[in-house]
């Protein structure tokens, strides 16, 4: 599934990176700990977080994630937008809480590392 399809289906706001909406989303990861994302998110994943500071864009670029969704109506800091633009990171926004957004992503077919494994 492409980022553009998720933006349209979920009513996500494109905060920056319109030119990257054709990226393929290969899975999803939700975490607010940078070290956790570095250790476990995989290339092509969509990252769901409440973190709005510039390190968010740096981690997303380092891991080659398809994009980042800021939840709960949070707005990125100016430095975050600048770093996201410079590093080619698609930064999206949602008014939904993480739990609800992830449920909707799952219903659209976006899975995490363990996919559909029971009890994983």
CB atoms closer than 10 angstroms to residue 86: 10
Q: How confident is the model at residue 113 (pLDDT cuts 50, 70, 90)?
A: confident
The pLDDT of residue 115: 52
Q: What is the dihedral of CA 35, 115, 105, 64, to 10 degrees?
A: 40
- Summarised one tens digit per residue, pLDDT across range 22-67 is 999 999 999 999 999 999 999 999 999 999 999 999 999 999 999 9
Mean residue pLDDT across the chain:
94
Contacts of 107 (CB under 8 A, 6+ apart): none
Domains, in order of start, for the chain: 3-107 (3.40.1390.20)
Q: CA angle at residue 57 from 7 to 44, to 5 degrees? A: 55
């Amino acid at each position: 599934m492409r980022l553009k399809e998720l933006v349209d289906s979920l009513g996500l706001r494109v905060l920056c990176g319109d030119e990257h909406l054709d990226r393929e989303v290969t899975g999803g990861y939700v975490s607010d700990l940078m070290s956790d994302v570095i250790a476990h998110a995989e290339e092509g994943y969509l990252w769901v977080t409440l973190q709005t500071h510039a390190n968010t864009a740096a981690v997303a670029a380092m891991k080659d994630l398809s994009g980042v969704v800021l939840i709960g109506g949070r707005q990125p800091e100016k430095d975050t937008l600048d770093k996201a633009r410079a590093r080619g990171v698609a930064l999206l926004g949602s008014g939904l809480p993480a739990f609800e957004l992830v449920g909707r992503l799952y219903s659209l077919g976006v899975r995490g590392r363990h996919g559909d494994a029971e009890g994983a």
